[in-house]
């Protein structure tokens, strides 16, 4: 049932869709960045694909209140069965690894 709901929310793309080629079966989560707004100050809904560097922009904008936009992203992820902690891990998996040279 969770997979069906996630598919309805667009977190799991339909087979053969262009989004399916992007996700390739990996988990996807919604999130917003404070610095990613349109000219009216509305926050752009972004998608992180587990293990894939970077993120994908959507054509959805979730208002001018950052806290509400973050809540909306979190609610969408939770409806798909992904907790806030798991979403954070998925988002972190998209960031490049930093290597320190201490020698």
Nearest to 77 by CA among 2, 22, 25: 2
In a domain, 103, yes or no: no
Range of the domain at 23: 2-92
Answer yes or no: pTM beyond 0.85.
no
What average pLDDT does this structure show over 60-74?
94
Q: How confident is the model at residue 51 (pLDDT cuts 50, 70, 90)?
A: confident
- Is 25 within a domain? yes
Provide the domain count of the chain: 1
Nearest-angstrom CA–CA distance, 62 and 22: 23
d(CA 87, CA 73): 10
Whether 97 is covered by a domain: the verdict is no
- pLDDT given for residue 21 in this prediction: 41
Q: Whose structure tokens read 């950052």?
A: 66
Question: What's the rounded Cα separation, in Å, for the pair 100 and 103?
Answer: 9
């Amino acid at each position: 049932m969770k997979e069906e709901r996630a598919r309805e929310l667009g977190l799991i793309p339909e087979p053969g869709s262009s989004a399916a080629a992007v996700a390739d079966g990996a988990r996807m989560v919604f999130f917003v960045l404070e610095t990613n707004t349109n000219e009216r100050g509305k926050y752009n809904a972004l998608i992180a694909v587990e293990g894939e560097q970077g993120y994908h922009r959507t054509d959805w904008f979730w208002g001018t209140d950052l806290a509400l936009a973050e809540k909306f992203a979190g609610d969408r992820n939770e409806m798909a069965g992904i907790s806030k902690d798991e979403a954070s891990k998925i988002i972190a998996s998209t960031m490049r690894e930093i290597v320190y040279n201490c020698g």
